[in-house]
């Protein structure tokens, strides 16, 4: 279970979508057993949709494979169609005659893929014996492409090691690029990086070798980001004013709590804001320690809990800023009434959020502090009710 990570837990939700698409398909077999195995020498004559702890193809699958696994998907035999796999680890040691689509923690290819490979993974290792018939497109952190590629090599990687042969072009965006052995590229060899590539003396390219500078931030993306922040500020300001209008007494009490014990209120609110992350960490620990047979059922039980906590945290965050901006506006202009203080505080917080080096502090401070203040008023009300 060492490959289970938060990415694997996220991918469990994606399994429902995969299976929902797969179930209506005709001439297909669906399996949700703990282990789905096609033994060596066996022939499975249909498409296979599998959700399990492990999915292993040692024999022959005459069709497509759509698999979700809590541990790994291993292909040492033959899949005559394409493979779509969501799992912490996917290994291809045999032959996939169609395309390979992978999302997970690690991809290992030491066999052959007849068509293209598309993957979004943390690490990918296409070994020296790997043979991909068409393009390779990988988004990943650590990627090695050391075998034969019949098309182009593309994608974005943090670190890329490349060797072997490429029948098309190489066009990648990387942080560090290493030519790890003899490399024969029929077309162009282009890379976009802020660092120089190493090992280029081992490269033979039929086209041009081009080193490109990293792309500058797109001005339209930056403009849309600024507009998005403005709309968020406007929406949250309206939510804060609406909250104050509906519960003026409670809002004033929460504002007072912000200034009374800010550190304690922030810690209390942080438990609420980060409760989904805490739940993910606890779930990862439980699933990692549980027996393999119990891991998949545990995920099905714990993932809805994580989603519920995330929804509650998001809902509370919509009104979390009201006490903080109200307290800040009152500190800046002491004569302001409740609504004026909230409006002035919202403008001040919005301005800080636009600052390049300080903007990230706004959600980190405002959300936990505001939720802690609201929580303190609820506890005080509960204590008063019990006293009565």
Q: Residue ranges per domain, the chain?
A: 6-212, 219-387
Cβ neighbourhood burial of 363 (10 Å; 0-12, 13-18, 19+) = middle
Cα atoms in the 13 Å half-sphere on the side-chain side of 351: 6
The tens digit of pLDDT for each residue in 262-285 reads 888 899 888 888 888 888 888 888
- Asked if pLDDT for residue 329 goes beyond 50, the answer is yes
What whole-number distance in Å separates Cα of residue 308 and Cα of residue 194?
A: 42
For residue range 45-73, list pLDDT tens digits in order: 999 998 888 899 999 999 999 998 888 99
Is residue 32 within 8 Å of 48, Cβ to Cβ? no
**CA 103 to chain CA mean position, Å:** 10
> Nearest CA to 353 among 321, 323, 375?
321
- Interatomic CA distance for residues 269 and 275, integer angstroms: 10
For residues 97 and 309, which has the higher predicted lDDT (pLDDT)? 97
Q: What is the pTM of this model?
A: 0.61
33 Cβ contact partners less than 8 Å away, ≥ 6 residues apart: 50, 52
pLDDT of residue 240: 87
Long-range pairs of 192-196 with CB within 8 A, sequence gap ≥ 24: none
Q: Assign 102 to helix, strand or coil.
A: strand
Average pLDDT over residues 155-172: 94
Predicted local confidence at residue 77, as pLDDT: 95
**SS3 letters across 117-151:** EEEEEEEEEECCCCEECCCEEEEEEEEEECCEECC
d(CA 248, CA 254): 10
Helix (H) or strand (E) holding 269: helix 262-273
């Amino acid at each position: 279970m060492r490959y289970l990570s938060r990415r694997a837990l996220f991918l469990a939700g994606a399994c429902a979508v995969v299976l929902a698409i797969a179930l209506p398909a005709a001439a297909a077999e669906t399996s949700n057993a703990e282990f789905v195995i096609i033994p060596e020498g066996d022939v499975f004559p249909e498409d296979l949709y599998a959700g399990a702890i492990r999915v292993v193809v040692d024999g022959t699958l005459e069709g497509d494979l759509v698999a979700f696994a809590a541990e790994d998907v291993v292909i040492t035999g033959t899949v005559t169609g394409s493979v779509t796999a969501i799992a912490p680890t996917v290994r291809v040691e045999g032959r996939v005659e169609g395309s390979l689509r992978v999302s997970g923690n690690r991809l290992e290819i030491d066999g052959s893929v007849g068509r293209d490979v598309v993957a979004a993974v943390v690490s990918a290792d296409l070994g020296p014996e790997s043979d991909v018939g068409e393009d390779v497109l990988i988004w990943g952190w650590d990627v090695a492409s050391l075998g034969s590629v019949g098309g182009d090599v593309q994608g974005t990687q943090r670190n890329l090691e490349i060797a072997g042969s490429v029948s098309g072009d190489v066009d990648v965006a990387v942080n560090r690029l290493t030519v790890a052995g003899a490399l024969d590229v029929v077309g162009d060899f282009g890379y976009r990086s802020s660092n120089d590539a190493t090992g280029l003396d081992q490269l033979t390219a039929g086209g041009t070798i081009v080193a490109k500078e990293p792309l500058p931030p797109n001005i339209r993306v930056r403009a849309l980001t600024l507009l998005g922040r403005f709309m968020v500020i406007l929406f949250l300001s309206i939510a804060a004013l609406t909250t104050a209008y509906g519960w003026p007494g409670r809002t004033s009490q929460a504002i007072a709590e912000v200034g009374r014990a800010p550190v304690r209120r922030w810690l209390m609110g942080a438990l609420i804001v980060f409760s989904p992350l805490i739940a993910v960490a606890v779930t990862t620990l439980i699933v990692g320690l549980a027996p393999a047979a119990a891991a998949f059922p545990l995920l099905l039980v714990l993932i809805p809990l994580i989603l519920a906590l995330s929804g509650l945290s998001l809902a509370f965050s919509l009104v979390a800023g009201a006490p903080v901006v109200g307290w800040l506006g009152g500190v800046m202009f002491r004569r302001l009434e409740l609504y004026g203080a909230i409006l002035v505080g919202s403008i001040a917080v919005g301005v800080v959020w636009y600052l390049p080096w300080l903007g990230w502090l706004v959600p980190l401070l405002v959300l936990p502090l505001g939720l802690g203040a609201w929580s303190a008023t609820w506890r005080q009300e509960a204590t008063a009710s019990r006293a009565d």
